[in-house]
Structure 1
Amino acid sequence: MAIILLTGGTGLIGQTLQKQLENNNHKVRILTRSPKLDNHFKWDIKANYIDEKVFDNLDYIIHLAGAGIADKRWTDERKQVLINSRVESSGLLFSKIKELNIPLKGFISASGIGYYGAITSSKIYSEEDQPADDFIAKICIEWEAAANQFKTLNIPVTILRTGVVLSSNGGALKKMNTPLFLSALGTGKQYIPWIHIDDLCNLYVKAIEDDSFTGIYNAVAPEHKTNNDFTKTLAKVVKKPVLPINAPGFILKIVLGELAAIVLEGSRVSAEKTTASYNYKYENLEKALYAIYT
């Protein structure tokens, strides 16, 4: 049994991950601004505060906290919130671990496939590739740099560059599965690197239970799907029609602004390194969607 501190534990991924960790007999502590349960502990990033009781006999930190990338338009103010919510929270955890001399066995952090940029190309991106030079990549670069600080304390670091997470409880599928019909976006030729939430949570559990599972891994399914293919597969599973005309990219740019890039662009991301260490439960999109909707 490990004692694990989980940030972002009240979010979509965090709630599922907590259940999975507890099912594997681990003890989970949640950092939250408004503690309500016995395993909740208060933190306030702006005030540079964490309830130090959360660190008693602590083994691991899983850091998921961060403002939602697609929740609001990317104004200059919002962009800073997206970066600060990830970097400052990581920095606060690092400073407390260093100050209290906590012998963590590992620091496991979320990141995103946005590291490779909002771009559609013929390239299949692997963990060894260099980051892009756009805003979504900037978020991921600073996010990962904040996580890698823990290496200076001789604490192993695992980073999961995560694709679109498929879940029955919300997230991207809730936005895609509109009430009457479905529509591909823009050209539809952009790729959607995806992962079922069960596989993503299993990867976090693996990072706790397998000491060799350190470094950077793409948390995406092995199967590559374009936006057109994804939309058709989703339509088949939920039994809804697909509009014959894709949602025009210029309208999405008007509605979403710069944020539109993350839905209008997308390249393939390799899961080869991850599959060498982990057997996916859902390698196939159709199987993943049927598991969610049936």
Structure 2
Amino acid sequence: MEKINYIIEENEVGNRLDKVLCARSEDFSRARIQQLLDQGLIHVNDEIKKNNYKVRCGDEVEIEIPEVKELEAFPQDLNLDIIYEDEDIIVINKPKGMVVHPGAGNPDHTLVNGLLYHCKDLSGINGVLRPGIVHRIDKDTTGCIVACKNDMAHEAISKQLSNKTCTRDYIAIVHGELPHEYGTIDAPIGRDSRDRQKMTVTDKNARDAVTHFRVEERFKGFTLVSFKLETGRTHQIRVHMQYIGFPIVGDPKYSLRNTRQDTQGQALHAQSLTLVHPRTHETMTFEAPLPDYFKALIEEMRGY
């Protein structure tokens, strides 16, 4: 077990313990500090303190970091909704609530677990926890995602994603009535400094992000919008729509609205994916039908 030791300095006196430790290291979020405190792994002068303990000059802080257990991805029969499959690629219609690959808090029932059960081989470029995965969509976003069965296909699709010849189209219901028929949001996205689980439009440690949108239908207080991504940043559509004041209906992170529609799930769907097949070089477009809850929302809004 790794141990980290700090001596509280004069300029830190009077601050909360969790705040001081977060400032000392970018590796610690406040939630992680609280977790370690709850486990009795942080001591101040050999005593366990609460996260709101006000530190004193000369306090000796010791943090014990438990060894990280290696995650393993294993096959699970998840009855994947397969749109297309051949010897090189497989295109899935991902359901709401499914995480793409295993990670902290999501060790199983991910898309990778389902792929390992269904496929004999997957590309190994992204390691044992992300076999076959060349791009991701969010846990609560539904629709098209492609995985690769060999490294040749993986490299080819990755290159297409990089040079923007692999295109992804999304559709969403947003809060508010968008006044423009179409437009482009060009705003860099980076990690939110106040919440490490969120992204935000910022000029600090950010990457370029470009989203094109078009209004498909307007309802009373809501709009059905289609999107084409020019870049593929984490939570890109969700962050950009919040940024311009029209957050995605049902978005648990970026929509602060509270309507009956929000209880039915995040209304964001990857409706189509176009790529050049890595072996045949044929341009192929795959489409995923809207999930039932999404179609029901549209009909409900039309009824207004």
Q: Is the TM-score greater than 0.5?
A: no
Higher RCO (C-alpha 8 Å, min separation 6): 1
* Larger-Rg structure: 2
Greater fraction of residues in helix: 1
TM-score when normalising by structure 1: 0.25
Higher strand share: 2
Q: What TM-score does the superposition give when structure 2 sets the normalisation length?
A: 0.25
